[in-house]
Structure 1
Amino acid sequence: MNDHYLKKLDRVTAILTQLQSRPLVRAQDLAEKFEVSIRTIYRDVKTLENAGIPILGEAGSGYSLMDGYKLPPIMFTKEEVLSFITAEKLMQRYSHQSLGSHYQTAMEKVRSVLKNSDKNLIQTVEKQVDIFNYHAPTTDSIKNIIPTILESIAEKTQLSIEYKSIDSKVSNRMIEAVGVFLEFNYWYIMAFCTLRKDFRQFRVDRILQVAKTHNPFSQEYGGINDYRRNSKNEVTKVKLLVEKKIMNHLANAKKYYGLIEEVETDEGMLLTFETEWIKDGFPRWLITFADYAVILEPEILKVRLRDLINDISERYKDIQTKRL
């Protein structure tokens, strides 16, 4: 069997896996995934149909397997089996506590269908992989809170929550959840708040009570990142000239603090930001690498950074004086 037919066999098998795992699969998505033309996908689907697989749908609308059709258990490759180990370790360290036990039982079911040789492979390697997390996990008073939120999104029903703000004020809100996300070791809900008539994000560990209601909502919301990017708060443009040697240390944080452009110059990296935190958050982050950066604009940031440095210097002078 030549290389062309081996690739086709692998692709057709992978398409069948996609059909088993999703209610509807578009030819365009499959073409992008396998980096082939849509016409090739049409031929692959026809190959499956000729093999007796009952596929519903047609080109242009999407494909699905006939309801109730069952296939033998999927066989995993060695590489896929080894990937489970890393996935488990990541879930143990970074998963929200309300999801961890559910993921563990799901993985036990996956392990139950593995060949004995694959089970032995996992047992041999799993102690050789670990994930080190230097942040203390957050704790919640509500069991299964994230599954409850996700159920409300799937069912399109409003949630009633009791929420404690950062200044310890407690309020009752009715929200329409758009999604959840993890950021800097905290889980958040992005939701439409019916009280504020606007989108808000709520930190999950500050939710004191949560309940699904019978109130449906019909609004079709976009992806969660659409709402995280489209802030209505006032933003300030910042330009920094940063030495190239420290750019790797800013890899994750620079986007969080509003990076919109990055240009390499002879003098260093010219970084442009749009930030909502010009008075506090941004200058406090900048101070961690200020000896490698020059503020080009705005003037307000230069003044704020100078004030912060002076405050820190005065504090340590006072401490030193008291010790003497």
Structure 2
Amino acid sequence: MNKTDRLLAIVIELQRKGVLRAEDLAGRFETSVRTIYRDMQALSEMGVPVAGAPGVGYSLMEGYFLPPVSFTAKEATALLIGADFVELRLDAEFGTSARSSQEKIEVILPEHVREEAARLRSAIRLLSDRTAVTRGEEKAAFEQVRRAIVQKRKIRFRYSKNLPGPDGSRHSERTADPYGLVFSQGAWVLVALCDLRGDIRHFRLSRMNELTVLEASFEVPPGFNLRDRRSADDRNVIVRMLVDPAVADLVQGSDNFYMETFEPGEEGWLATFRVRQIEELLQWTLGWGAAVRVLEPASLRDRMRAEIDNMRKRY
């Protein structure tokens, strides 16, 4: 990074972080503290109101804003595609804001950058089919939950959970303090303090219905950081299957969430999965017919036989 780019980047960092020590900036830009001192002097001479306090760090004087910056074609493309993603995955209000931001970005781009960004963007497509776009019901839930998070208001909803056995699912009424939303494995997940369980739980928006935002408020506990949250992995059932080479590429390309490894063997490809319950793979495995054979556990082999017998009776 040359000096001019570094000076601009330093101002942007100060705007983002507020106060930074010379050591912090030196580490960020992989240079010496002495160089940062010289950079600060150069910024002051350029009229940038940088304030420095011994033992505290550098900051920009209140009210100073960096003039509009220019984007490269790749930077502009990243922002425009990001706005496309927001429109597909978030609620209608954010979708409108995303389209508005795209128009503003395109207006300020120089013509040659705008043309290059358009060329790059045309080579990348976000599909809006059922697997790529957030469903209407989920978008509606997202909007309600997002507003509840911002307003710090409790929510009540009916939650459906898949369970093993003949019943297949269970429904429960939940009241919770919504702390944040996480996009994981193609689905939106709410991180919330559940009143019923008395603990922080994760709820998939697609399984939530009859959602209501309550008048009661809540406070996020001190020290809570959404970025540090990880849902407990309770997938303890190992499943191994032998895959016919004729469909190996299709099975691997199916991008099954539960698949851990996919390795070649003497009789075919060995696929290893990790699930909470065998029912999570039952229908998927049946869909491959005789091209996929369950090696273990025996319980899944038994369920496969039972399902096949039931199918034979129907036909």
Q: Same fold by TM-score, threshold 0.5 exceeded?
A: yes
Task: Indicate the SS of the match to 1:196.
Answer: coil
Deviation by residue 1:247-271 (Cα, 9 ceiling, x = unmatched) = 56535743x2263xx2634435544
Q: CA deviation at 1:239?
A: 2.5
Among residues 79, 86, 90, which one is paired with 2:81 in the alignment?
86
Aligned length: 293
Q: CA deviation at 1:197?
A: 1.5
Residue 131 to residue 181, structure 1, CA distance change in 2 (3 Å):
closer
> How far does residue 117 in structure 1 lie from its aligned partner after superposition?
4.7
Partner of 2:212: 209
Per-residue deviation, 1:201: 0.8
Distance 2:64 2:302 in 1: 68
Task: Give RMSD over aligned pairs.
Answer: 4.2
Q: CA deviation at 1:100?
A: 1.2
Pairs within 5 Å for 1:1-324: 9-10=4-5, 13-23=8-18, 37=30, 40=31, 42=33, 45-52=36-43, 54=50, 65-119=60-114, 130-135=125-130, 137-139=135-137, 144-151=143-150, 157=152, 159-166=153-160, 171=173, 173-181=175-183, 183-184=185-186, 186-198=187-199, 199-203=201-205, 206-211=209-214, 213-218=216-221, 220-223=223-226, 226-228=229-231, 230-231=232-233, 235-242=236-243, 246-247=248-249, 249-250=251-252, 253-254=255-256, 256-257=257-258, 259=260, 262=261, 264-267=263-266, 268-278=268-278, 280-289=279-288, 291-315=290-314, 317=315
**Aligned equivalents of 2:106 and 2:20: distance in 1?**
27
Q: 1:217 is matched by which residue type in structure 2? A: V
- Unmatched tracts of structure 1, length 5 or more: 1-5, 318-324
CA distance in 2, matches of 1:11, 1:191: 41
Distance change in 2, residues 1:77/1:132 (3 Å) = same
Q: Secondary structure at the match of 1:309?
A: helix
8 Å CA contact 2:73–2:117 kept in 1: the answer is no
Superposition deviation, residue 227 in structure 1: 3.2
Equivalent position SS for 2:39 = helix
- TM-score w.r.t. the length of structure 1 is 0.69
Distance change in 2, residues 1:96/1:305 (3 Å): farther
Contact 2:243 2:270 in 1 (8 A): yes
SS at match of 2:127: coil
- 2:19·2:59 contact (CA, 8 Å) conserved in 1? yes
How far is the alpha carbon of 1:298 from its aligned partner?
Answer: 1.1
Residues 30, 49 of structure 1: alpha-carbon distance in 2 compared, 3 angstrom cutoff: closer
Per-residue deviation, 1:98 = 4.2
CA distance in 2, matches of 1:310, 1:7: 71
Letter of the structure 1 residue corresponding to residue 156 of structure 2: E
- 2 CA distance for matches of 1:30 and 1:243? 56
Q: Which amino acid aligns with 1:195?
A: L
1:95-134 CA distance string (max 9 Å, x none) = 3334212323333443454335545666787677643222
Q: Tell me, what secondary structure is at the counterpart of 2:307?
A: helix
1:128-167 CA-to-partner distances (Å, cap 9, x unmatched) read 7643222073235569425325526xxxx4x422212337
